[in-house]
Amino acid sequence: MALDRYEAICDPLRHSTILTNPVVVKIGLAVMLRGGIVVLPYLLLARQWPYCRTNIIPQMHCEHMAVMKLACTNTHVSSYYGLFVVFCVTGLDVVFITMSYTQILRAIFSLPTKDARLKTFETCGSHLCAISAFYIPRLFSSLTSRFGQNVDLHVHILSANVYLLVSPMLNPIIYGIKTKEIWAGSSNTLLRKAL
């Protein structure tokens, strides 16, 4: 999305020629490949551990840290790899997003009128909200599950569920909040319910 915003704002006349369907498919495949490469060591490490306690994790999904806590062996390698993934993958994402938004802000501030700058910045605001709704709870969940020994279990579960469930549910709201058709449909529905 940051690349799409960058192209749409910084080079709008070439947007459709740069981000063609084959390019978008290649980007999607690269993202899936990166995800697979990052997750594969988790699976290989978890497969070799002996489990002598219960095999029930206290969460709604199979999070790596929850599985790691069930193991009856030294899991430091996995813990270090998890920290590496959190900081390198998330850090790399943040670096690329920051680079693209630096260029976007430079392009926005070079626009001639205040209205044009405001309208262009509003299109980026929803993307920044969606990014924040995913990355902040994800980082919090990952770090508290590793370092938050004094944090209650329900806080771990809630933070993991927030980044897995709430941020995808917020995306349509975040991106659709400025759409006139959605506002009109929502207000009509609310008026009918009120009457």
pLDDT in tens, 12-22: 788 888 888 89
CB-count burial class (<10 Å; 0-12, 13-18, 19+) for 81: middle
The string of pLDDT tens digits covering residues 155-175 is 777 877 777 787 778 777 776
Residue 24 has pLDDT above 70, yes or no: yes
pLDDT digit string, tens, across residues 44-74: 888 888 887 777 777 777 777 778 878 888 8
Query: Would you put residue 116 in left (φ > 0), alpha (ψ -120 to 50) or beta?
Result: alpha
Give me the residue label for tokens 């999070």.
Answer: 63
Q: CB 94: neighbour CB atoms within 10 A? A: 14
Q: Which helix (H) or strand (E) holds 161?
A: helix 153-161
User: Does the structure show a pLDDT above 80 at 119?
Assistant: no
